Amino acid sequence: MILYFYPRDDTPGCTKEACGFRDAWTDLQDLGVVVLGVSADDAASHTKFAAKYRLPFTFCPTRTTR
């Protein structure tokens, strides 16, 4: 399992890291690795971020939308 924490969705460094996991996705799946991204953003932000960059892994929101 890769559990990675990052400050915010759609920031330059976080996007680069997330896209790196995306680009290695086939290799990671072949190894049975699960990737989970965690930040302080809400689920709606994670959904938008994942769609924008075609990120195939799971994001865990740490707060809810108000």
14 is catalytic: yes
Burial, 24: exposed, middle or buried (Cβ in 10 Å; 0-12, 13-18, 19+)?
middle
- The pLDDT tens digits for 29-54 are 999 999 999 999 999 999 999 999 99
Residue in 9, 14, 46, 50 annotated catalytic: 14
Judge whether residue 65 has pLDDT over 60.
Answer: no
For the chain, first and last CA: distance in Å?
31
What value does the mean pLDDT of the chain take?
92
CB atoms within 10 A of CB 48: 13
